[in-house]
Amino acid sequence: MIYSVTANTTNKKESSIQLKSTAFPFGISKETEGILSSPADIYLGALAACILKNIERFSGMMKFEYSNATIEVSATHHLNPSRLENIVYEVVINSKENKINTSLLKRNLEKFGTIYYMIAQSCNISGTVIQQKTQ
């Protein structure tokens, strides 16, 4: 499988990434810093999307149902050289199930997530997967 995206910018004003049929704007200047996502935000967003996609995938394999899942991802930005370190995530899965094997799910997310695996090769990632029982 080959992935491909297109991105463009117009002189510090508008920048976007075209992913299939959707364009995502992002910031590249001080003027857009507080308004639009930065490339680091998009990077962390790709990790979050990878984990959520694999929750859907593994819910079928592990035979559990859920109403929704939420993930929060944070990282520390270091300078010299500029990099993200210590990525931390927390997944909350809302489900009527009595008990989801969250430790097995976490292990599967970390072992089989393409983006997760790639990022883990370059920096520390740690996280938790929590089930919230819903009625």
Q: How confident is the model at residue 10 (pLDDT cuts 50, 70, 90)?
A: confident
pLDDT at 131 over 80: yes
Question: 95-114: per-residue pLDDT in tens?
Answer: 999 999 999 999 999 999 99
Amino acid, single-letter form, for residue 75: A
Q: State what percent of residues in the chain have pLDDT above 90.
A: 87
Q: How many helices (H) and strands (E) does the chain have?
A: 3, 6
Question: 31-70: per-residue pLDDT in tens?
Answer: 888 899 999 999 999 999 999 999 999 999 999 999 999 9
Q: Residue 57: its pLDDT value, please?
A: 97
Q: How confident is the model at residue 123 (pLDDT cuts 50, 70, 90)?
A: very high
**Run of H or E including 25:** strand 22-25
Stated pTM of the model: 0.93
Q: Residue 14: its pLDDT value, please?
A: 79
Contact 67, 134 (CB under 8 A): yes
